[in-house]
Amino acid sequence: MTTASVRLIPGVKRRLLDASPSIEEPWYVNDHTLIQDAEGRWHVFGIWHAEPADPLDETMFLHASTADLRDPSWTVHDPVLHARTEIGETHVWAPHVIRHDGQYWMFYAGGTADHTAYRMTLATSEDLFTWTPQEPVLFAEGFDARDPMVLRVGERWLMYYTRTARNDGGEHQVAVRESTDLVTWSAPQVAFGSGVEGTYGGPTESPFVITVDGGYILFVCESTEYDRTLAYFSTDPLRFERSALIEVDLDEHCAEIVQDGECTWVTGGGWGRGGLTIRPLEVQTGR
């Protein structure tokens, strides 16, 4: 299996959700996650804030649910997991939710005044409505280490997230850590190096990895163009190379890949985007 044999074919994009309180009061949904509960209902959690963009004031997560992603009628619930100012959190970013061992696990970044030591945090829930942050935090890392995504590979869990090579800056990277229990995580490895140096933002935001026949695909938000997601193929979930870029036009910001039965979707959001979008994504491996 090679990169040349992998094709990604996006379909027509449409609006998925606008969670603004009113036309006169637009709110954005940025980094987000979708999870289907045990009864088949879909839930979305995401950064939620009034326009215009104010990332250091994003202090809670949107929670909304619908019975059907194809023809959604959303119910917006009370927001969850407000920043805990009593422990130094100033904002919360980029939730990712999985279901495992009879409960739901949410991984997210707890931002503080110290950008060199952002906290990767875990909260758990029995019903997706009441969440309990777990202590201590999983780990702290910089610069603005954030955007966690967790994938099961065999008997281990892999957490992908964006960071820089040094806590005070350097190459923008996708790091990966391993765990067997979702609580204790290994030291980081470099899953992908962008070749671009900096601190804020960067071209490795919102990493998302899926398994395909013969390997893995890493999606990253190339945020220097904002509405642009790149995809890379690898047979090793711990290492993706820039030379393995898949030719595809994905004009999504903070893209998430969602499996709904036999249909694969790609969603997007961001500042000034009027909520979330969705479109089908056909994945062909040539096998």
Q: What are phi and psi of 253, to 5 degrees?
A: -105, 145
- Percent of the residues in the chain that have a pLDDT greater than 70, as a whole number: 99
For 75-88, write each residue's pLDDT tens digit: 999 999 999 999 99
> Which single residue is written with the structure tokens 């992998």?
6
pLDDT of 214 reads 86
pLDDT of 109 reads 98
pLDDT of 2 reads 82
The span from the CA of 222 to the CA of 169, in Å, is: 17
Rounded mean pLDDT of 132-159? 97
Q: Which residues pair with 174 in a beta bridge?
A: 162, 192
Q: How many residues does the chain have?
A: 287
Burial 225-255 (b: 16+ CB within 10 A, else e): ebbbbbbbbbeebebbeeebebebebebbbb
For 41-90, write each residue's pLDDT tens digit: 999 999 999 999 999 999 999 999 999 999 999 999 999 999 999 999 99
- Tell me which residue of 202, 267, 243 sits closest to 66, measured CA to CA: 267
The span from the CA of 140 to the CA of 116, in Å, is: 8
The dihedral sign for the CA sequence 7, 233, 177, 229: negative
For 162-219, write each residue's pLDDT tens digit: 999 999 999 999 999 999 999 999 999 999 999 999 999 999 999 999 999 989 999 9
pLDDT of 286 reads 79
| Mean of per-residue pLDDT scores for the chain | 96
pLDDT of 287 reads 60
Rounded mean pLDDT of 106-123? 97
Asked if the model's pLDDT at residue 223 lies above 90, the reply is no
pLDDT of 4 reads 73
> Which single residue is written with the structure tokens 């395909």?
212
Indicate the domain borders of the chain. Answer: 10-284
Counting runs of H as helices and runs of E as strands, what totals does the chain give? 0, 21
Give the number of other Cβ atoms within 10 Å of residue 103's Cβ. Answer: 13
Count of alpha carbons within 13 angstroms of residue 281, beta-carbon side:
28
The span from the CA of 10 to the CA of 31, in Å, is: 20
CATH number of 10-284: 2.115.10.20
pLDDT of 3 reads 84
Do residues 229 and 217 lie in contact, with contact meaning Cβ atoms separated by under 8 Å?
A: no
- Tell me which residue of 16, 26, 64, 28 sits closest to 44, measured CA to CA: 64
Asked if the model's pLDDT at residue 1 lies above 80, the reply is no
For 256-266, write each residue's pLDDT tens digit: 999 999 999 99
The span from the CA of 109 to the CA of 122, in Å, is: 9
Asked if the model's pLDDT at residue 224 lies above 90, the reply is no
Rounded mean pLDDT of 138-163? 98
Q: Is 2 exposed, middle or buried (0-12, 13-18, 19+ CB in 10 A)?
A: exposed
